[in-house]
Structure 1
Amino acid sequence: MARFQEDYKTLEQALNGTYMVDQLKSLASQISKNNPTRKAELAAHIASTVFKDIDTILAYLDPMAMNALAEAVYNWSGCFKSKPFFAKYSALPQTESKGGRGSMHLMYLFFINGKIPPDLMAILEKKIKRPAPEKIDYEDLDDDPEMTVRETAHAACMNLNALLTMVKENQIRVSPKTGRATAATVKKISAHLCEGDFYDAEDLDPIQAFAWPLLLQGGGLAAIDGNFLKLTRAGTLALKKDLAKGIQTIWKKWEKTKIIDEFSQVTVIKGQRSAKGRTMTSPVRRRPVINGVLTCLEPGRWVSVDEVERFMRSESQTFEMTNYDWKLYFGDPHYGLLDYNDTWSLLQLRYLLIYLFQYGATLGLVDVSYKYPDNARPDFQSCWGADDEPFLSLCDGLMQIRLNDLGAYVLGLSTDYNAVDPRDFEIHDTDILYTGKGIPTPDHSLYLDKIADQTEAGRWQVSLVSLLNALKAGETLKDINAFITQITQEKPGKNLEKLFEKAEERSSAVVDRGKATLLECHGDIRKQILTDKEMGRLCLPAGDRHLVILPEKEALFARYLETLGIIIG
């Protein structure tokens, strides 16, 4: 079924304008007898017969051909799209005729240059059932012992807190030009990751530790300041208030960032930066497509990446990876050109794997089941120049994903993430006890770690020391009290109230009122100043030879001093 080239309004026009006499005779012989011989009369006769005996003619078609008609009529505006059709049905309709010269398969009566004429479309809409909607086939988790399963949401929130804290402490050194972290910084990040990176093998580069500094920048939570990252206002807010909201902010902004093309890490494929950087399409055009597919997933159910990729092609939710396929190659630009091969699995599938694994799973949107990347997807090894490569991408080992609660929240499929039931926390004397299912959210556990000491899993003890340490770190007793009341729906008991009173007393007994100026004075002048009606109110004695000017009184003190004919040296 060739590409449609003419905008024919009727079946008769399309038949007469497209086919030769022998082809029309072949089609006519399959649906009627005693057919005319002249071309125009044949076209008119075939069209008339089709509209008259449409039910009989449709009965001649096999089920696969009927599926093709149904998809074209209801989903593809009358056109036939072979790639989405094959992705959905795993086969193509038969279009080859067994006859001799000029013989035409009956499918060409409907698809003329790849498209159904409008008047025939109107009839088929009344005669053909709408095709079954495409659906995603979910599956059980693969129990292969080589597979590693990671639930990512909790670790991602903990890692975001750790990375933002490192940024706040000026520990994330990056290249001012690329924004990528230095090798030493990547190693430092790896050591701070909750549950570690996805692979701990020394021969494999880090996945999460490489991605996090880029995600913070692309997501607007950090910005380059010289050779280091600094927190933005959004980053400060995420660190203090809501980590899940911070991840949602990153993901939304990442869709439009140009800080990196995720596919650039597939270094085995050469030529990506030829044509002055225009060989590859912008990832800004690819990411929304994948994000749209993720919203089609049912949270909490495992699905293979291959099935996600099949669903994408079936629903025509696809994207282009290159502007010039022929500039990409393995090994040698003269022999290893990619356009000698079907590039979908080499480009689009690999980009999907990297996007889901290195960035989606790092941010905790999808749980993952994966194995060591070596020979996990050997589909590329038949390409010239690639037969000795163990993998195209570190993410080749990703096999299954599961959209989790955090992913559903980030993608807008739910309105909150891990909302805490007030019954999940209780106050026992000066202890706060978690009684809910699973583990507390990172935001709650991290804040409890700030204000109390964890004595065992799910139990935090509030003490005078823990409260004073929290106050020293910038928290307030009002906020701490409000937090405890919010998560427990209880008023603090007498013992806890006493701790708050002691903390208030200890934290207000000595108060920093700002910097003061220390002056050294000669004995007689010092006495004169202290006894002066105006200047005596602006300073205090300090030892035998010094005066301290009260904060913000320096200029007034200097003016009064000058009236005595004295200046500050």
Structure 2
Amino acid sequence: MTDLAQAIATETVDTLKKYYATLFGVKPKQTRKADLTSALAHGFADTSHLQAYWRQLPELQRQLIQECLFTYNGRVDRKRFRMKYGDFPEKPRGSRSFFGYDSGLPDSIALFFYPAESNYGPKQIPAALVALMTSFVEPPAADTLVTAVLPEPLPAGCSMIQREATVLNELSALLILLQNQQLKVGEKTGQPSGATLKKVAKEVHEYYPATTCPEAAGMEFIVAYGWVQLIANSPFCKQSKTTLAPARKTDQKPVATIKVLWEHWLKNRKQDEFRRIDNIKGQNGKGKRYFTNPVERREAIIAALRECPVNTWVSFDQLSRHMFITGSQLLVTTEPEYLYLYDANYGMLHSSWFLLESRYLRCFLLEYAATLGLIDVVIAPPEMVGMDEDRTWGTDDMDCLSRYDGLQYIRLTPLGAYILGLADDYQPSEKVSTETPLNIHRQGRIVFEAPPTPWEQQFLSLYAEQDKGHVWMLSSRKIMETLQLGGNVAELQQFLLARESQPFLPEDCESFLTNSVKNADGVKFLTEALVYSCKSVEMADLIINDKALAKFCQRLGKLQIVLPKSKEKSFREGLNTLGIGCV
């Protein structure tokens, strides 16, 4: 018996009689199962008859079989098919069986599907029949990612956030906070403290100014949270108890630093972005063991982002729909029933792309891809979006499910194209910020004629302190901090000259900037030093006057002696020779 005949033989005699009549158009004379099986197998193997039968099927049924043959691995995927075609060829009402596993398909195409393992398992097209049919059946039309044109003006409450325009300035601000050890996280959890999030939020362009929905707590710290996690996970950072500190200098260009941050986050197995969907409970219970590898999830999202055209808007719904239809490997958990809302006994979640995977996708895009400027976004308050496709038990009184629900559109930036490997180098977008006129006064006093844009404020904050209103003062401290992190005084000069009506800077301002560049490497680090305190002035004199020790020791005050760390062993040996102990 052939493999195809073996698959057909798993059905009952009554079902095989029905399939025979459907395939050949006449009632069977055979009554034995073996004879019916053989007749159907020969009918399928008759390519001319099979093609004629195929051609007379309704278009929607042919489309389903095409998808099953080429896309769904021989099985039926109702949700994906209905999403792509807007309909599904259901079996007529009242004709479904309550025994065994019923495919729910019309008999005209149900005859292609047979149980893979038992009469109670899901049905699929046998491999032998797949081979026969793909010899003449064309593959289905590929689903394409539909682009969008933003409505003008944007709907009330919506705003466009051009992340590429601000990310380089934000990176410098975050590296300064890291250098000054201003970033605090939980010693065991690695979660940023509330004070840290507030501090970082002042340096970045957040999506929302405040929480507007009880189910979206923390929506005013999305960018801040993403930055802290990206910095903490990078090779530029080390954690000392609750403080993040520099691990090594970021002497690369800013774009290269962003690429390092991104690539290290993609490999991070310890942090799972889905944990940020905190209204979904059960993530720490039994459900924890069924979560998939976040690295593989991110790879699925990256594959979808690479399909997005550069500098072109795509609605989030279209991106999510496209990923679902094309069978994206984005899967949050293999056992969603362990997750719930409110109550573990009544709020069990079902396997829903729009409830789980789509929420994860929103979080990853807003908190990490957009934070690093790979995409620009259009957002609305989460409660404005609604939950029409996500309604399940426990959501009736919820305005939204997560702080990320407001994501409406995304646009892959040239920076994103470079980071994702779609471009060989980075060519910035055209300047998106307007140039607010300003006047430069003596002693580095900068006065804007109108409120500067958020981008201008973020850039200038790297080199100056805000005084009052639209007045800023150049700061030696900030300039030095920025220069040490890869900043450039020439960029500051270009920024000022582009907005100043005069074609030159005031003489004292020009001199101030020139001296800043000259003094940027005024002091160089050589080695670490040790400081020892002597018991008495006489003992300090004895040590300093010793010929052997005087070669590397220096007096620091009356009682203290300083020496290079590399000379510690020699120093102690010299003290022992003098008969002086060191504790």
Is TM-score (shorter-chain normalized) higher than 0.5?
Answer: yes
Task: Please tell me the residue identity of whatever aligns with 2:78.
Answer: S
**Residue of structure 1 equivalent to 2:53:** 57
**Residue of structure 2 equivalent to 1:45:** 39
Distance 1:450 1:180 in 2: 37
**Structure 1 stretches lacking a partner, 5+ long:** 1-6, 422-437, 477-506, 509-513, 543-547, 557-564
CA contact (8 A) 1:255 1:284 kept: yes
**Residue of structure 1 equivalent to 2:85:** 89
SS at match of 2:355: coil
Shift of 1:295: 1.6
**Residue of structure 2 equivalent to 1:348:** 357
**Residue of structure 1 equivalent to 2:199:** 188
**Residue of structure 2 equivalent to 1:389:** 398
Distance 1:420 1:242 in 2: 18
**Residue of structure 2 equivalent to 1:229:** 244
Shift of 1:285: 3.6
Shift of 1:198: 0.8
- 1:27 paired with 2:36, answer no
Residues 429-440 of structure 1 correspond to what in structure 2 (within 5 A)? none
Distance 1:549 1:199 in 2: 52
- 1:16 paired with 2:9, answer yes
Shift of 1:26: 4.5
CA contact (8 A) 1:73 1:121 kept: yes
CA contact (8 A) 1:381 1:388 kept: no
Shift of 1:449: 3.0
Task: Please tell me the residue identity of whatever aligns with 1:107.
Answer: I
Q: 1:265 aligns with which of 251, 276, 286?
A: 276
**Residue of structure 2 equivalent to 1:80:** 76
CA contact (8 A) 1:35 1:45 kept: no
CA contact (8 A) 1:378 1:391 kept: yes
TM-score, normalised by the number of residues in structure 2: 0.71
- 1:211 paired with 2:226, answer yes
Distance 1:325 1:345 in 2: 13
CA contact (8 A) 2:22 2:108 kept: no
Residues 128-137 or 443-452, more deviating: 443-452
Distance 1:41 1:538 in 2: 106
Q: 2:260 aligns with which of 249, 259, 267?
A: 249
Q: 1:371 aligns with which of 369, 374, 380?
A: 380
Shift of 1:137: 0.9
SS at match of 1:367: strand
Identity among equivalent positions (%) equals 26
Residues 63-72 or 165-174, more deviating: 63-72
CA contact (8 A) 1:14 1:117 kept: yes
Task: Please tell me the residue identity of whatever aligns with 2:417.
Answer: A
Task: Note closer, same or farther for the CA distance 1:303–1:83 as it changes in structure 2 (3 Å cut).
Answer: same
SS at match of 2:373: coil
- 1:449 paired with 2:442, answer no
Shift of 1:133: 1.8
**Residue of structure 2 equivalent to 1:128:** 137
Shift of 1:96: 4.1
Q: 2:209 aligns with which of 189, 200, 208?
A: 200
Please list the CA deviations of residues 189-213 of structure 1 after superposition, one character each: whole Å capped at 9, or x if unmatched.
11111xx211012555211112211
CA contact (8 A) 2:16 2:36 kept: no
Task: Note closer, same or farther for the CA distance 1:149–1:446 as it changes in structure 2 (3 Å cut).
Answer: farther
**Residue of structure 1 equivalent to 2:573:** none
Shift of 1:550: 13
Please list the CA deviations of residues 504-536 of structure 1 after superposition, one character each: whole Å capped at 9, or x if unmatched.
xxx99xxxxx9999xxx99xx9xxxx9xxx99x
Task: Please tell me the residue identity of whatever aligns with 2:28.
Answer: N
Task: Note closer, same or farther for the CA distance 1:9–1:450 as it changes in structure 2 (3 Å cut).
Answer: same
Shift of 1:400: 0.9
CA contact (8 A) 2:300 2:329 kept: yes
**Structure 2 stretches lacking a partner, 5+ long:** 116-122, 431-454, 463-481, 556-560, 571-577
**Residue of structure 2 equivalent to 1:108:** 110
- Aligned pairs, how many? 493
**Residue of structure 1 equivalent to 2:62:** 66
CA contact (8 A) 1:261 1:283 kept: yes
Task: Note closer, same or farther for the CA distance 1:159–1:419 as it changes in structure 2 (3 Å cut).
Answer: closer
Distance 1:381 1:67 in 2: 28
Residues 294-303 or 454-463, more deviating: 454-463
Task: Please tell me the residue identity of whatever aligns with 1:329.
Answer: Y
Task: Note closer, same or farther for the CA distance 1:104–1:469 as it changes in structure 2 (3 Å cut).
Answer: closer
- 1:305 paired with 2:316, answer yes
Task: Please tell me the residue identity of whatever aligns with 2:9.
Answer: N
Shift of 1:399: 1.0
- 1:469 paired with 2:516, answer yes
**Residue of structure 2 equivalent to 1:160:** 171
Q: 1:318 aligns with which of 329, 334, 337?
A: 329
Shift of 1:166: 0.8
Task: Note closer, same or farther for the CA distance 1:410–1:210 as it changes in structure 2 (3 Å cut).
Answer: same
Distance 2:563 2:229 in 1: 48
SS at match of 1:338: coil
CA contact (8 A) 1:25 1:42 kept: no
Shift of 1:18: 2.2
Task: Note closer, same or farther for the CA distance 1:115–1:187 as it changes in structure 2 (3 Å cut).
Answer: same
Distance 1:549 1:309 in 2: 63
Residues 325-334 or 401-410, more deviating: 325-334
Q: 2:307 aligns with which of 279, 289, 296?
A: 296
Please list the CA deviations of residues 62-105 of structure 1 after superposition, one character each: whole Å capped at 9, or x if unmatched.
11121122223333443333333233222223444887999961
Distance 2:166 2:190 in 1: 24
CA contact (8 A) 1:148 1:370 kept: yes
Task: Note closer, same or farther for the CA distance 1:68–1:243 as it changes in structure 2 (3 Å cut).
Answer: same
Distance 2:77 2:313 in 1: 29
CA contact (8 A) 1:26 1:104 kept: no
**Residue of structure 2 equivalent to 1:404:** 413
Shift of 1:370: 0.8
CA contact (8 A) 1:97 1:105 kept: no
**Residue of structure 1 equivalent to 2:447:** none
CA contact (8 A) 1:305 1:399 kept: yes
- 1:220 paired with 2:216, answer no
Distance 1:111 1:420 in 2: 52
Task: Please tell me the residue identity of whatever aligns with 1:53.
Answer: H
Shift of 1:311: 1.2
Q: 2:156 aligns with which of 145, 150, 172?
A: 145
TM-score, normalised by the number of residues in structure 1: 0.72
Distance 1:93 1:470 in 2: 73
Shift of 1:148: 0.5
Larger CA Rg, structure 1 vs 2: 1
Distance 1:126 1:449 in 2: 67
Task: Note closer, same or farther for the CA distance 1:276–1:360 as it changes in structure 2 (3 Å cut).
Answer: same
Distance 1:179 1:256 in 2: 17
Residues 280-289 or 154-163, more deviating: 280-289
Task: Please tell me the residue identity of whatever aligns with 1:148.
Answer: S
Task: Please tell me the residue identity of whatever aligns with 2:79.
Answer: K
Please list the CA deviations of residues 1-26 of structure 1 after superposition, one character each: whole Å capped at 9, or x if unmatched.
xxxxxx9722x333233242454244
